[in-house]
Amino acid sequence: MGRPALCINETSSKTAEPQKLVVRTLGRVRAEFAGKDIGRRMCRSALALLVYCACKPGQTLSRDLIAHDLWGHLPVERARKAMNTAVWRLRRTISSCDQSPDDILDSTADTFGIRSDVRINSDVDSLERMCNVLQQKSNDEMNGITMSDVKRVADLYRGDFMQGFDNEWCFLPREALRAKYACLQEYLIGAAVLEKDWPAAIRHAEAALNSDPLREPVYEQLIRAHIRLGNRLQAKRVYDQCASLLSSELGVMPAREIREALLRGCSTEDRDAHSREHGPTSLL
């Protein structure tokens, strides 16, 4: 039977506690190792390299692959040189923080990555795990999860993934994480509606739409929440915003449920004006 991959100090009777690398990539990018802020002193290329590898835990990656993903806009040789320079700068910065680069990095002439025995704490991982649990709604997994836990994870989203970085590899995860954050906010909207906490429903709906502005069901919930608070004018503004965006982006009208949500909360005069502008209510 083969030896385990986890590095264990065999001279000690106890297993060493793995060092922790904390990576925050939702909003301003930050990195800490063993409680020390190592990201603050890093140049952008070194920080991007560290985050890229932290997003692929337990993997030792080809340097050519990393060079392609992070510096693919450059010719191959220049991309590889930029990769090697970033590795050198990353090691130097870690050393300047009184940490050993070899405690974090697994590096050879052809491969590079984070050591497998480094425990990575990532805001992205926390967000994705919570979304997966809420979507699957497994009783075993939901056991012990409170609304405070969901809100705490939602609060980790302080901005786009790798905000301020324009590396091509960031684009797809950035869009995917926007959608996951919006899903998390939709869950919080539903909880607020059940509690009849309309101001909270509005806050979560606005947060969801700020991340994913084409999410039609959220417009419906936002309109209903404003109407519950008697804010009919604001509900109409939300509808108009939704209609304008869907028309310009997708060439469609708001869904029937969104129009119904608005019309049910409007006065007779408002309904007549809306019908003249958007068509008779009988067509809903």
End-to-end Cα distance, the chain: 68
The tens digit of pLDDT for each residue in 45-102 reads: 999 999 999 999 888 899 999 999 999 999 999 999 999 999 999 999 999 988 899 9
CATH number, span 123-283: 1.25.40.10
In this structure, CATH architecture of domain 20-121: Orthogonal Bundle (1.10)
Q: Cα 234–239–242 angle (5° rounding)?
A: 125
Confidence bin at 279 (pLDDT 50/70/90): very low
Ranges of each domain in the chain? 20-121, 123-283
Burial of 130 (0-12, 13-18, 19+ CB in 10 A): buried
CA distances from 78 to 27, 82, 168, 183 (A): 29, 6, 17, 41
Tokens 């998390």: give the residue.
184
Does this model's pTM top 0.85? My answer is: no
